[in-house]
Amino acid sequence: MWTLAGIGAFLGGLFLMLRELLPLLKARQTGVIRSKGHAARRIERAVDPERFEGLCRARLKAAGAGGLLAIGGAVWTIMQVAGIAAASAG
């Protein structure tokens, strides 16, 4: 049962990480990023390079939490599977 919790944590972390990284990769490629919030504004690298880089850093930092959750879920799942294998081996 706890193995499924680890798999869920891994998938949830992967989702949270990709939710931030995919728009970041698109912004790096196109040079345009959208701010978050109710009235999302379009920020172009050529017009406001400091704000563009700041938003890119913020997205990368936000993706870190999802990455840590995915790594934690993977480690938890591996530990659970190893425990199940050790218990069944006798």
pLDDT at residue 90 tops 80? no
* Beta bridge pairs of residue 78: none
Domain that holds residue 67: 2-89
For the chain, how many structural domains are there in total?
1
pLDDT digits (tens, 9 = 90+) for 29-69: 999 999 888 888 999 999 999 999 999 999 999 999 999 99
Distances (CA, A) of 48 to 10, 21, 22, 75, 78: 36, 21, 21, 41, 45
Q: Considering only CA atoms, which of 81, 69, 36, 83 is closest in space to residue 55?
A: 36
H helices present in the chain, as ranges: 2-30, 49-89
Model confidence at 77, pLDDT cuts 50, 70, 90, reads very high
Q: Which pLDDT score is estimated for 84? A: 93
Number of Cβ atoms within 10 Å of the Cβ of 12? 14
Whole-structure pTM value: 0.83
**Residues 35, 43: contact at Cβ < 8 Å?**
yes
